[in-house]
Structure 1
């Protein structure tokens, strides 16, 4: 075929209309997005199925006293109870409404472990200790309610707090055995799903609209909402322009762990913003202890294999390496800049999420935490 004929043949190639070209581009984009999501879920599934170091099984009897508060504390209770049942010989379950001291004296456990402890009668604890049974409390809300926890911690043999800056406070107030033990990810609740998510969001935030969060998000809310963004939680009608965001704010809906995990899996970027220690409208922390430790949501988001953007707390790097296993921000503008960046840099976003999952399964599960606790109490 002559060059002339080749050129003529090429000139007769069909010309796509704008609508057909847009459709074709959309098909390519959909294919690329599906390929990226498939890679993410395949890698995550591989990480989950890698053999984890087995945890020791102990011939112990633990009487577990739940918080008794219901949701949102009940998922913590479930995580601890289920984990304990796989790590010790016997677990007896109770709650603050029951005669805990009578149950302990009848069953003679090796340990009475209390979550939260706000509602348990202190005389029950004293009777248990007088009988020679060890007691421990795992505090759930430090440092926000230290005015109340200071009254109860002295009635326990061992105190475990999720806030590093509360350790010395309790020691100075007569507690000889105080230990830093943050919560973790319960992988029955938070995990990477293996199939494409039914949800498709760019950005999500799940949590209550404490005033520090309202003040932080308000200047950048319009820019955040210009993406496929959804906020969920109580009090978000405090935002000055709340009405303008319509269904992008799911107001007042408490989400179960399963629903939350679905949102995390279906979101490209999940924002984490800690509450303030200075909000006297909700806190009981008159000494204004400054928090340094990450909240439980930090570990739960990472376990779901999504990129987490969190405000940088002083002790965060103990758990995740910023820029490698998690991403941080220190101002509204920096948050917005990183949202814009990672929404257009799929590979970087995906790799940080996968490294965060791997670190979580290695170091930040309830099995790891409870093993650490039991190693302290029964060295």
Structure 2
């Protein structure tokens, strides 16, 4: 009995369209795996417990800025850290009668955030009670026309701008200390699952004029990428309507919205505001800015590659080329965007190292602990 043999039929060659479809599917699997692996590494870092800090047996009266958003997230970060590091915290704001509260509670310290709207005679009388006072200034050097008149009324002055220290000391302030802001982890952390936001490049911030001029010259190149800009005043950019919803005008984003956008972006640009601005600044002495802005720490805490303009003291906080990437010109920024979008492993490695450094050194509990150590030893 004979057996029929069926020769195997060779597969037909794929059409160009089928080849493209198959390659797209393979690339999708590869990219999905790499993104999942990256998010997993972010989750490991994000899940590490923070270093325990000492809890002091002191009572602090915290005077919030009273300005509402966008200062209220700063108040939340400082207050939460104080509550975790001290025995008792009394909470008030600059619009309340501080004398009555301080006289009744007898705190060991009255700590004021911002303090621009606080009647100074109240602070003077609290100091007269023998209660230590401190102010943490939020906007140096941009409002030094006002802060130069405040600082002598406090026992301790904390500024987030290194270049302001000497100016305050020249006024006779003996206790002036450099204390930048930080990342508040309940607000700024990586998105660990699939992000609802997918961008190549993000910039989030107000359209100060130096930013408008910087971006305007390179906007066509910048928008070749999947770039989105968010913030108030971007109607100052004449070409903004050309880009539709890729330039959002007139909205303050919440910290959580901002963190989601950061974490869903491959690259986040951090372009600092200028210390010279005839409209937005009150800095008649033209004190220059050397220190990183709060967004520096918030971007890094969100687990993304940060591309920042150079500030003199930036390297004290992050190693350029390892934990953060810097640029000195518009073209250098565009070139580095192009480079890191095509070098995924390098981009992710820097983002991970930036997050790790932030969690180790640049959180609000660590900053508040530094403040308390300065005052109480």
Classify the TM-score, shorter chain. over 0.9
2:288 to 287, 290, 302: 290
Partner of residue 47, structure 1: 45
**1:96 and 2:94 correspond:** yes
Among 254, 257, 267, which residue is 1:259 paired with?
257
Partner of 2:373: 375
TM-score (norm 2): 0.96
1:186 partner SS:
coil
Q: Which runs of 5+ in 1 are unaligned?
A: 1-7
Partner of 2:75: 77
Cα separation, 2, equivalents of 1:306 and 1:181:
24
What is the match of residue 85 of structure 2?
87
1:202-248, CA deviations, whole angstroms, 9 ceiling, x for partnerless residues?
A: 00000011110011111111111111110001111222311211111
CA drift of 1:9 comes to 6.1
Q: Distance in 2 between matches of 1:130 and 1:336?
A: 56
Q: Does 1:354 align with 2:352?
A: yes
**Which residue of structure 1 lines up, in the alignment, with residue 61 of structure 2?**
63
- Secondary structure of 1:154's aligned partner: helix
Q: Secondary structure at the match of 2:217?
A: helix
Q: Distance in 1 between matches of 2:295 and 2:114?
A: 17
1:1-379 to structure 2, matched below 5 A, reads 12-379=10-377
Distance 2:154 2:198 in 1: 47
How far apart, CA to CA, are the structure 1 residues paired with 2:217 and 2:321?
25
Extract structure 1 runs of 4+ deviating beyond 4 A: none
> Over residues 320-355 of structure 1, what are the superposed CA-to-partner deviations in whole Å (9 max), with x where a residue is unaligned?
000000000010000000000011100000000000
TM-score normalised by L of structure 1? 0.96
- Aligned CA RMSD, in angstroms, stands at 1.2
Once the two structures are superposed, residues 6-25 of structure 1 have per-residue CA deviations (whole angstroms, 9 ceiling, x without a partner) of xx968x32222333222222
Query: How far apart in 1 are the matches of 2:344 and 2:203?
Result: 20
Count of matched residue pairs: 371
